[in-house]
Amino acid sequence: MESYYNCLSVKADNFLWLLQDKALEITGEAIEEIEQGFIVRTEADIKPIKLQLIAYAKELETIMSDSINLEFSEETLKNQDWIASYRKSITPIECGKYYIHPSWFEGKKNKINVIIDPALAFGSGHHESTFGCLEALENLEHTFQEIELRNKEKENSKNWSNALKDKTILDVGCGSGILSICAKKNGAKVWACDTDELAIEATKDNMVKNNVLLDKVFLGSLHTIPTQKGKFDIILANILTDVIVALPLESYVKQKGYLILSGILEQYIPKVLNKFKNFKIVSQKINNEWATLVLQNKG
């Protein structure tokens, strides 16, 4: 270990979570979240990191048609156990029945425990879009349970592990695998994909940590599974608005099936709804300007 390390503080007024993901991809280092920004600590030269973040911010501005103001500060400090300090800064979160926690925290009784280490990949559950998807998924589970109760005329067993039994789910842009793993722990058949190799690796690592086996994890997107059109009960897509609009998600969901869409800034809701104008709006929730939409295929 070197005696000193470099510290790059980054602040942004827009698309902070995407910039954090990019920093993780570039460095592979632990990143500490701070108010309106994050800190990268590394023994490597931070100049290339800074230049890549600037270039990525410009790409995002073009894609999202919105501006990003970046602020950087740099310093060289004596090395210390900053990984331990970072771990202390990460806290578990609860979202309904789910308890999302890093591996250095104990699980919680009477909750579905999901281990995700935020330093290793994107999608720890802390971001509003991920949280919104988890809420939407749980609400759909309740819907399926109510339908089953009506059909079978029996009392609700409240068996969380089977809430999504016999349902097929596709997680597009799976990131850390958090949504896929939550769905699998509820009995679903789950496919997960991402165009980022690091995300696929992270999802597979988190499968092991959570002692679950997803049915299929693959590098790529919808174009790699043309035979699965119309096969999924639920499609999860927590990705950029322009990607949601560009992908033929409607072709892969069953009749009467559902789309859970997030990663959508409030101002882009009309753009998404216009794409899926033949779908029924089941719910629309906004959390800190991030929208989560649940849409149903009318068939």
For 140-182, what is each residue's pLDDT tens digit? Answer: 988 887 777 766 655 444 555 567 888 999 999 998 899 999 9
Angle in degrees, 0-180, between the axes of helices 16-27 and 47-64, rounded to the nearest 10: 140
The answer to whether residue 98 sits within a structural domain is no
The answer to whether residue 103 sits within a structural domain is no
Q: What is the pTM of this model?
A: 0.75
Question: In this structure, are 278 and 153 located in the same domain?
Answer: yes
Q: How far apart are CA 31 and CA 124, in angstroms?
A: 13
- The residue ranking higher by pLDDT, 119 or 257, is 257
Question: In this structure, are 135 and 257 located in the same domain?
Answer: yes
The answer to whether residue 260 sits within a structural domain is yes
Q: How far apart are CA 135 and CA 170, in angstroms?
A: 17
Question: In this structure, are 69 and 164 located in the same domain?
Answer: no
Complete edge-to-edge strand list for the sheet that includes strand 189-194: 216-219, 189-194, 168-172, 232-238, 253-265, 290-297, 279-287
CA separation, residue 138 to residues 132, 229, 298 (Å): 10, 24, 21
Question: In this structure, are 240 and 161 located in the same domain?
Answer: yes
Q: 173 labelled as ligand-binding?
A: yes
Question: In this structure, are 261 and 129 located in the same domain?
Answer: yes
Question: In this structure, are 157 and 277 located in the same domain?
Answer: yes
Q: Which of 87-96, 146-155, 192-201, 273-282 has the highest mean pLDDT?
A: 273-282
Q: Strands of 161-272 (E only): list them.
A: 168-172, 189-194, 216-219, 232-238, 253-265
pLDDT of residue 119: 47
Q: How far apart are CA 283 and CA 280, in angstroms?
A: 9
Question: In this structure, are 28 and 140 located in the same domain?
Answer: no
pLDDT of residue 80: 65
Least confident window among 71-85, 135-149, 229-243, 274-288: 71-85
Q: 194 labelled as ligand-binding?
A: yes
Q: How far apart are CA 222 and CA 250, in angstroms?
A: 11
Boundaries of domain holding 51: 4-89
The answer to whether residue 112 sits within a structural domain is no
Q: What is the mean pLDDT of residues 188-207?
A: 92
Q: Of 44, 73, 89, which residue sits at a domain end?
A: 89
pLDDT of residue 96: 87
DSSP character at residue 127: S
Question: In this structure, are 145 and 271 located in the same domain?
Answer: yes
First-to-final CA distance of the chain: 60
Q: 238 labelled as ligand-binding?
A: yes
Q: Are strands 290-297 and 279-287 parallel, antiparallel or unpaired?
A: antiparallel
